[in-house]
Structure 1
Amino acid sequence: MEDLKIEEMDLYEILEIEFGSTAEQIKKAYRKKALQCHPDKNPDDPNAAKKFHQLSKILEVLTDVKAREAYDRVLKGRKEAAIRHRELDGKRRKLKEDLEERERLAAGGGYKHKSEAQKLREEIERLRKEGSKQVEEEIQNILRTIHEETPKSEWDSSNNRIKIKWNSEKKDPNNGGYTRDLLHRFLSKYGDIQALVLSPKRKGSALVEFKEQKAAEMAVELEVGLPENPLRFEWINGAPQGAHKPKSDLIKDSDFESVTLMNLRRAEERKKLIEQMMADEDES
């Protein structure tokens, strides 16, 4: 972004505001433009990030008193020169350009001999080194606005964590028979797992986040874990809205056969899983 030539640009025109606009008007115009060109709003525009960065540099210059004064002098001089330039014929224009070039080459020494463009570049360099708190605040405001405007998924796994508990003695090196890999195998059959963490301080405890609500609800309702040491599930922030309620402990006679068959299938699947795990460990 170092090739951005501020002295050759009309910053007010880019922001679509008047030359003498107030600081608040400048910030308001910046917010409008920044929201329009932010990369999150323009995923198909490869230049969106560059445009957003350029707007922040423009805001940086126009909200700094010294930099803006230097820029305004350059802009005013450039516009006046353009008017004079159009009024001169070709021959006189060439003589004027030659004279200005000789004067530029002869200029040197202290700050008072520097061109307005040189002074502006020095102010821009100062801003680059010092940074601008105003610009940083405005950028953060833009990011917050975009975040608020972005459609949110109905399911937020971070707000619907599930605590898992099982019996384990404090000094049990086997943690009640559970490892992270074993828990992951039990739970992943319900759906994608966003995060799964065993408590580093407390035995018999873990947290899990599921990518989809249905997967989380199924795990809470159906998973038992090891038959000799069952898992217990608890929603950290309470069950999510619209969550399927667990089946009643009172099973109707008409449902007894189907429930029994389901439990037998789950037990058989669990047995095969444990046998496979033991075989994998023996091979390793």
Structure 2
Amino acid sequence: MTWLKEVLGTEKAVIAMCHLMALPGDPYFDKEKGMDYVVEMARKDLHALQDGGVDAVMFSNEFSLPYLTNVKTETVAAMGRVIGELKSEIKVPFGVNVLWDAKKSLDLAAATGALFIREIFTGVYASDFGLWNTNVGETVRHQQRIGAEHVKLLFNIVPEAAKYVAERDIESVARSTVFNNRPDALCVSGLTAGSRTDSQILKRVKDSVPDTVVLANTGVRRDNLIEQLTIADGAVVGTAFKIDGKFENHVDQARVKEFMDDVNTFRKPKVAV
């Protein structure tokens, strides 16, 4: 049994993304509508996800485009306000993701009671956001300093919009990441949010580290969820739950329910005949 059962309540878990709208300081923040509107839209999406039956929710500043790798204080403060206002309405386990800043994700988790974070913890990349470096040793020491030892760390090892500076095969990355860092999970992604995770890459990662939780991190939809969940231990789902399946839209509860009905059918014990 993996930690998914203990923390999220089920194996083959589906973690749904609650994408926050642009926040103060972001280029696309709507100053006229302000933070009250951000909170209200997050509330709407949260309830659509929960009522649709997801196993867990992860709050992220998805529309803070273009992303920073050293996130500003005002972003974390705004995310803390949103989650704080919604805390009494959150009925499923939840995590946070401050894109793309691992230490600030931990800060937000410690402040809000989040159970997990997803981040780029390791590696050096050539990315759309410039040369992207990490410091996992400092990050996990920061986790200890702020009393967030209980927070599960989901390591994204195929970063979106980025490529390792040094060519390394995915099996080597997976094995060395597990050996050196003891991640709670590895996340395997496509090129961007909503892009399908390559099933062959997903299988190569899982075969390389069979005792580690591996999650399909992007592009899981109704037409591929059985294929993806047969290989992976769970999935992070965002775009597939949106109106018309478009990244920029809000959550469609009917789409969530249809997806989760399929997942629950897949998870039912198979009866031998």
* TM category, shorter: under 0.3
Q: Given the two structures, how large is their TM-score scaled by the length of structure 1? A: 0.19
Q: Which has the higher contact order (CA 8 A, sep 6+)?
A: 2
Larger Rg computed on CA atoms: 1
TM-score under structure 2 normalisation?
0.20
